[in-house]
């Protein structure tokens, strides 16, 4: 058999597994796996550094299927190359409930799935994050421990989504030369021809953001190989435009949008078998083909062993640090350092904005955790995310630990996901809370994947003031709380800010967002307590026996609640205050704890400079809510609080009206 024949049969194995699985599921996207099979075969059988027996090898090349609807391409590759947790039975269970082989690749379902993709454009931006992580860790630990490529396969959808522009501009700026992106250029989208909606010259576009570009026939294995070899030597990231035929091999449907997202049907599959000269039954891979694929899966065994030897030979401290960092464990002393910080805060009780409080905590954290990679989407002086340890990273110098992500919230969040998925680093970055909307799809994916990224979202309410309603989040705290798994913290003072950071970093498998104020807040937690009270999501800040009124509040409004409670107590009304730094965590507590915190006061009032949605869970639908009913307005923050009736007086009046 010639090398070309061998290649074709290997690629066809992907095509038939994909067709068969999609046919059996009666649902799925055959177009991409069939069209991109040649590119994937060359990459996985000749270039990709990976070891199916050690899927988490830290120096493996990363492969991201950004066009996640082509999931059968990835599942086929994992099965064929010998990942033990991807069997032919798993392939047969494609798109069935409880299977590893979900409709789109789901991180954590099976080894070799480096990230969850499907929402278009996310994968390419994840890949940029992975390449950032590799470069940073190579700088830190040396090329003997970190020296791998990151590959991504993207479709037209990925490239049309705006996030792709943010991501490729960032990658080009940073000269991420070990990032290699294949474009499955098949000229087809769901509506029909790409030309219905786009006329972009993608090569020129990538050149304009400082990429190396190559154009090839995506079905020519030699051209694919030559392109990869050229890309590996580039001093810039490389974009390989691969002209392909969508649904390659299906004689009557290939090249049309009909093969994009529907099973081919038995008849067309039979015709494809004939056209591609494939005699094996459904889900059956001829022995020679499977052997060749399994051999491909063994290609990097030696490299992996050599790498392990290098790790073993590294000096003890470096090795331990590398292993710790990739395990995602925090260094010893983290909790006690934050505890010491809390003591110091309690001794001073500063009146500060929580964005500044966060900076103070970060100063401690970044001193202790070399793995934090800070940053901001061009709001560094506003987000207070750059501490003394954080030298800026530049294209030619990755010795720093601070990313200037640019005005690109979406790619920032997606790159952070990629950094976290890569391992070895904990990414945090800043933005205005209002612009969490710009990166919401990536925040959601972090929650779905269960990865540790921390968003520092400052300017968290009408407290923003003069910038007005376009810059004042009113619904964002509620809407972020709606994302399953995400811990949205809204701390009330410096102590709570420290506790929230502590929880965020101690959770390896959850993303966090910290909603922080621009304006100064008085301390509400004045006494040092060893326990992290924020960890239960809500806790009694001010107790009062047989309370007639309970005030629930978060963040900047806790101060209002405390003052209102004092005023009510002064009027003889027993009032307790519950601080609610994290709604999610509260509802994960035991029923007993929740009942105790909600309490039995006849009057319950929630106070938050945001919308009511979600607060009925605390106060019932007969409770009173002091907050926002509309968008904000432009004016000094104090005027706005008064104008929108979020004041001590309003709380007292609401309590009295209810009593």
- Residues in binding site for Mg(2+): 156, 186, 188
Decide the pairing of beta strands 352-353 and 520-521.
Answer: antiparallel
- The alpha carbon of residue 151 and the mean position of all alpha carbons in its chain are separated, in whole angstroms, by 18
Task: Give the residue, chosen from 59, 134, 140, 156, that forms a contact with a copy of itself under the rule CB under 8 A.
Answer: 156
Q: Is the CB of 47 or the CB of 438 nearer to a copy of itself?
A: 438
Return the residues of window 23-52 that contact a copy of itself according to CB under 8 A: 25, 27-28
Q: Is the CB of 2 or the CB of 630 nearer to a copy of itself?
A: 630
Note whether 505 and 330 are within 8 A (CB): yes
Taking CB under 8 A as the binding criterion, the range among 11-19, 97-105, 140-148, 549-557 that sits at the site for a copy of itself is 97-105
Cβ 382 to a copy of itself, closest distance in Å? 7
DSSP bridge pairs for 402: 374, 392
Question: Taking CB under 8 A as the rule, does residue 187 contact a copy of itself?
Answer: no
Question: Taking CB under 8 A as the rule, does residue 97 contact a copy of itself?
Answer: yes
Query: Would you state the structure tokens that stand for residue 532, as one six-digit string?
Result: 């992290």
Within 10 A of 531 (CB to CB), how many other CB atoms are there?
9
Question: Taking CB under 8 A as the rule, does residue 139 contact a copy of itself?
Answer: no
Question: What would the DSSP string read from start to end of 100-129?
Answer: SS-SS--TTTSTT--S---STTHHHHHHHH
DSSP bridge pairs for 576: 550
Note whether 75 and 163 are within 8 A (CB): no
Cβ 187 to a copy of itself, closest distance in Å? 13
Task: Give the residue, chosen from 617, 645, 653, 658, that forms a contact with a copy of itself under the rule CB under 8 A.
Answer: 617
CA distances, 383 to each of 35, 359, 418, 516, 600 (Å): 45, 8, 22, 9, 39
Query: Would you state the structure tokens that stand for residue 143, as one six-digit string?
Result: 């090329």
Question: Taking CB under 8 A as the rule, does residue 307 contact a copy of itself?
Answer: no
Q: Is the CB of 160 or the CB of 337 nearer to a copy of itself?
A: 160
DSSP letter (8 states) at residue 280: P
Task: Give the residue, chosen from 33, 35, 52, 103, that forms a contact with a copy of itself under the rule CB under 8 A.
Answer: 103
Question: What would the DSSP string read from start to end of 24-36?
Answer: HHT----HHHHHS
Q: In terms of DSSP H, where are the helices of 37-161?
A: 37-42, 71-81, 88-92, 122-141, 156-160
List all residues 6 or more positions away from 7 whose beta carbon is below 8 Å from its beta carbon: 38, 41, 42, 45, 221
Return the residues of window 314-343 that contact a copy of itself according to CB under 8 A: none
Task: Give the residue, chosen from 110, 425, 640, 652, that forms a contact with a copy of itself under the rule CB under 8 A.
Answer: 640
Question: Taking CB under 8 A as the rule, does residue 645 contact a copy of itself?
Answer: no
- Binding string, residues 202-241; x marks residues near a copy of itself by CB under 8 A: xxxx-xxxx-------------------------------
Query: Distance between CA 234 and CA 228 in Å, rounded?
Result: 10
Return the residues of window 104-123 that contact a copy of itself according to CB under 8 A: 104, 106, 116-121
Note if 527 is an active site residue: no
Total interface residues for a copy of itself by CB under 8 A: 117
Q: Which of 268, 321, 359, 409 is catalytic?
A: 409
Return the residues of window 548-587 that contact a copy of itself according to CB under 8 A: none
Within 10 A of 634 (CB to CB), how many other CB atoms are there?
16
User: Virtual CA dihedral for 79, 81, 83, 86, nearest 10 degrees?
Assistant: 0
DSSP letter (8 states) at residue 536: G
Cβ 159 to a copy of itself, closest distance in Å? 8
Cβ 523 to a copy of itself, closest distance in Å? 26
Annotated binding site for thiamine diphosphate: 69, 118-120, 157, 186, 260, 435
Cβ 333 to a copy of itself, closest distance in Å? 32
DSSP letter (8 states) at residue 402: E
Question: Taking CB under 8 A as the rule, does residue 419 contact a copy of itself?
Answer: no
Within 10 A of 209 (CB to CB), how many other CB atoms are there?
17
Q: In terms of DSSP H, where are the helices of 599-647?
A: 616-619, 637-643
Question: Taking CB under 8 A as the rule, does residue 487 contact a copy of itself?
Answer: no
Question: Taking CB under 8 A as the rule, does residue 170 contact a copy of itself?
Answer: yes
Question: Taking CB under 8 A as the rule, does residue 9 contact a copy of itself?
Answer: no
Task: Give the residue, chosen from 54, 139, 479, 506, that forms a contact with a copy of itself under the rule CB under 8 A.
Answer: 479
Q: Is the CB of 248 or the CB of 405 nearer to a copy of itself?
A: 405
Half-sphere exposure of 544 (CA within 13 A, CB side): 21
Return the residues of window 352-411 that contact a copy of itself according to CB under 8 A: 376, 378-382, 392, 394-395, 404-411
Q: Any idea which residues carry the catalytic annotation?
A: 409
């Amino acid at each position: 058999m010639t090398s070309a024949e061998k290649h074709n049969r290997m690629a066809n194995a992907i095509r038939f597994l994909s067709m068969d699985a999609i046919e059996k599921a009666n649902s799925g996207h055959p177009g991409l796996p069939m069209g991109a099979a040649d590119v994937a075969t060359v990459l996985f059988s000749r270039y990709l550094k990976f070891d199916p027996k050690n899927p988490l090898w830290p120096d493996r090349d990363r492969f991201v299927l950004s066009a996640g609807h082509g999931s059968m391409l990835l599942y086929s590759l994992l099965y064929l190359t010998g990942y033990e947790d991807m069997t032919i039975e798993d392939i047969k269970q494609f798109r069935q409930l409880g299977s590893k082989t979900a409709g789109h690749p789901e991180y954590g379902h099976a080894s070799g799935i480096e990230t969850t993709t499907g929402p278009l454009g996310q994968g390419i931006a994840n890949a940029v994050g992975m390449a950032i992580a590799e470069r940073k860790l190579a700088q830190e630990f040396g090329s003997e421990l970190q020296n791998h490529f990151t590959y991504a396969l993207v479709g037209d959808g990925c490239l049309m989504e705006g996030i792709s522009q943010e991501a490729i501009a960032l990658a080009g700026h940073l000269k991420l030369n070990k990032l290699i992106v294949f474009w499955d250029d098949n000229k087809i989208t769901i509506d029909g021809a790409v030309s219905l909606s786009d006329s972009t010259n993608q090569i020129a576009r990538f050149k304009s953001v400082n990429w190396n570009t190559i154009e090839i026939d995506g079905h020519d294995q030699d051209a694919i190989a030559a392109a990869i070899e050229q890309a590996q030597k580039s001093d810039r990231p490389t974009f390989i435009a691969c002209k392909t035929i969508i649904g390659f091999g299906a004689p009557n449907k290939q090249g049309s949008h009909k093969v994009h997202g529907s099973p081919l049907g038995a008849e067309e599959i039979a015709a494809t078998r004939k056209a591609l000269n494939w005699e094996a039954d459904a889900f059956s891979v001829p022995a020679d083909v499977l052997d060749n694929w399994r051999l491909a899966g063994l290609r990097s065994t030696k490299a992996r062993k050599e790498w392990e030897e290098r790790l073993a030979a590294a000096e003890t401290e470096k090795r331990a640090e590398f292993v710790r960092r990739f395990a995602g464990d925090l260094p010893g002393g983290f909790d006690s350092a934050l505890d010491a910080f809390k003591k110091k805060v309690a001794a001073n009780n500063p009146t500060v904005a929580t964005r500044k409080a966060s900076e103070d905590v970060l100063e401690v954290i970044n001193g202790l955790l070399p793995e934090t990679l800070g940053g901001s989407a061009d709001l560094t002086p506003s987000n207070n995310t750059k501490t003394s340890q954080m030298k800026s990273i530049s294209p030619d110098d990755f010795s720093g630990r601070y990313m200037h992500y640019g005005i690109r919230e979406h790619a920032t969040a997606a790159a952070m996901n990629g950094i976290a998925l890569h391992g070895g680093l904990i990414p945090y970055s800043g933005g205005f809370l209002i612009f969490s909307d710009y990166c919401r799809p990536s925040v959601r994916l972090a929650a779905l994947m269960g990865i540790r990224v921390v968003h520092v979202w400052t300017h968290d309410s009408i407290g923003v003031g003069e910038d007005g309603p376009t810059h004042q989040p009113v619904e964002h705290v509620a809407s972020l709380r709606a994302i399953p798994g995400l811990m949205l913290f809204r701390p009330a003072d410096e102590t709570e800010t420290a506790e929230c950071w502590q929880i965020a970093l101690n959770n390896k498998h959850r993303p966090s967002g910290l909603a922080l104020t621009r304006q100064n807040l008085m301390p509400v937690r004045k006494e040092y307590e060893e326990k992290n009270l924020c960890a239960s999501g809500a806790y009694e800040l001010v107790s009062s026996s047989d309370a007639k009124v309970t005030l629930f509040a978060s963040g900047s409004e806790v101060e209002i609640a405390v003052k209102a409670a004092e005023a009510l107590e002064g009027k003889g009304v027993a009032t307790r205050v519950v601080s609610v730094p994290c709604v999610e965590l509260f509802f994960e507590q035991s029923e007993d704890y929740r009942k105790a915190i909600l309490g039995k006061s006849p009057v319950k009032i929630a106070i938050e400079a945001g919308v009511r949605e979600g607060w009925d869970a605390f106060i019932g639908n007969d409770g009173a809510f002091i907050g926002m009913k509309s968008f904000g307005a432009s004016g000094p923050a104090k005027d706005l609080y008064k104008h929108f009736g979020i004041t001590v007086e309003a709380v007292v009046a609401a309590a009295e009206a209810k009593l």
